[in-house]
Chains A and B, each alone.
Chain A
Amino acid sequence: MNIELNDYLFVSGLLFIIGFFGVLFRRNTLVIYMSLELMLNAVNLALVAFSRYHNSMDGNLFVFFIIAVAAAEVAVGLAIIVALYRKRQTVMVEELAELRN
């Protein structure tokens, strides 16, 4: 059995969709955050696969930047979640809805 570009893309698309629905339907902020990271990693997988099969270095290079940016995003995001947790003692989205009309 050969592993082709389309197999990688299938896995990547699957990961992206799992992440997307995770963001939409999960109620725990931390799980939502993990789903977001899953989406970014789906993108990384597709980039590396394209890069490998199309003999182009741009994709590999872009992955470095995405990893670095994702790390910065995680640092800021977790800081916000921790600050909110200490304030409100919860990470569930239903209980974090004070901004209303």
Chain B
Amino acid sequence: MELVDYLPVMIQLLLAAVIAAAILIASHIFGQRARGNYASDSAYECGMLEESKPHPKFSVKFYVVAMLFILFDIEMVFMIPWVLIYRELLSVGILSVWPIFFFLGVLTLGLVYEMKKKGLEWER
């Protein structure tokens, strides 16, 4: 492959960089100005000085849902090749439908398990 063939990739990378930079610059220009100083940034503006850095708040809710989403999302990788070819396989009499239904069934069971164990409830 010639290096010229990679031009689209190059353009895409440039585009991504330009858009990211544009958003940052725009928010810097048009955003609200806040003159930061130590007092207004601290946890208690008037009061005791903090002894050490507080532990950052750690929200697990989003993380759990995102993780579960990724798992189901990735499983779809197995569906794409199957979708592309199942008609041809059927026309020559190869049973490729039941295995994939079984696979989907197991996935569905996993989803039911998640819901029963309250893995998808945002407010807990």
Check A68–B67 contact: CB distance below 8 A: no
Chain B nearest CB: distance from A65 CB in Å? 9
User: Could you tell me the distance in whole angstroms from the C-beta of A33 to the nearest C-beta in chain B?
Assistant: 13
Rounded to whole Å, the gap between the CB of B110 and the closest CB of chain A is: 11
Tally chain B residues at the interface, Cβ within 8 Å: 17
B75 x A68 contact (CB < 8 A): yes
> Could you tell me the distance between the alpha carbons of A83 and B22 in the complex, rounded to whole angstroms?
39
Query: How distant is B63 from chain A, measured CB to nearest CB, in Å?
Result: 7
User: Among A71, A86, A89, which residue has the most Cβ atoms of chain B within 10 A?
Assistant: A71
Q: With an 8 A cutoff between CB atoms, is B20 at the interface? A: no
Nearest chain A residue, comparing its CB with the CB of B6 = A3
Residue B3 is within 8 A (CB to CB) of chain A in the complex: yes
Task: Give complex CA distance A72, B1 in Å.
Answer: 35
Nearest residue, chain B, Cβ from A70: B74
Q: Which of A35-67 contact B (CB under 8 A)?
A: 61, 64, 67
Please pick, from B6, B55, B74, B81, the residue contacting A67 in the complex, using a CB distance under 8 A.
B74
A85–B77 Cα distance when bound, in Å, is: 32
B residues sitting closer than 8 Å to A (CB atoms) are 1-3, 6, 55, 58, 60, 63, 67-68, 70-71, 74-75, 77-78, 81
Q: Which residues of A contact B (CB under 8 A)?
A: 1-3, 61, 64, 67-68, 71-72, 74-75, 78-79, 82, 85-86, 89
Q: Give 20 new A-B contacts, CB below 8 A, not counting A71-B70, A75-B71, A82-B63.
A: A1-B2, A3-B1, A64-B77, A64-B78, A64-B81, A67-B77, A68-B74, A68-B75, A68-B77, A68-B78, A71-B71, A71-B74, A72-B71, A72-B74, A74-B70, A75-B68, A78-B63, A79-B67, A82-B60, A85-B58
